[in-house]
Amino acid sequence: MDAVLIFALVAAIVVVFVVAASVRIVPQARRYNIERFGRYRRTLQPGLNLVLPVADRVNTKLDVREQVYSSDPKPVITEDNLVVNIDTVLYYQITDPRAAAYEVADYLQAIDQLTVTTLRNVIGSMDLEETLTSREEINARLRSVLDDATGKWGIRVNRVEIKAIDPPNTIKEAMEKQMRAERDKRAAILHAEGDRQAKILTAEGTKQKDILEAQGTQQAMILRADGEAKAVERVFQAVHRNNADPKVLAYKYLETLPHLAQSDNNTFWVIPGELTEAVRTVTSAFGDRSAEGAPSGAATGPEEDDGRVPELEKGTPAPPPPLDAATAADEAVKQAAAAVDDAKAEAQAVQSPRIPGRGGSSAAGE
pTM: 0.47
The answer to whether the CB of 100 falls within 8 A of the CB of 154 is yes
Judge whether residue 122 has pLDDT over 90: no
Judge whether residue 359 has pLDDT over 60: no
Cα–Cα distance between 55 and 38 in angstroms, integer?
A: 9
Residues facing 162 on adjacent strands? 88
3 state DSSP class of 151: helix
- Contacts for 139 with CB less than 8 Å, ≥ 6 apart: 159, 160, 161, 162
Q: DSSP letters of 65-78?
A: S-EEEEPPPEEEE-
The DSSP code for 49 is E
Amino acid identity at 41? R
As a whole number of angstroms, the longest Cα–Cα distance in the chain is 203
Residues 320-337: tens digit of each pLDDT: 444 444 455 556 556 666
Residues 250-298: tens digit of each pLDDT: 666 666 666 665 655 555 555 555 556 656 665 665 555 444 444 444 3
List the alpha helices (DSSP H) in the chain: 2-22, 97-102, 107-123, 128-133, 135-150, 169-242, 246-256, 275-293, 296-300, 325-351, 360-365
- Contacts for 348 with CB less than 8 Å, ≥ 6 apart: 355
pLDDT at 291: 45
Pairing outcome for strands 67-70 and 74-77? unpaired
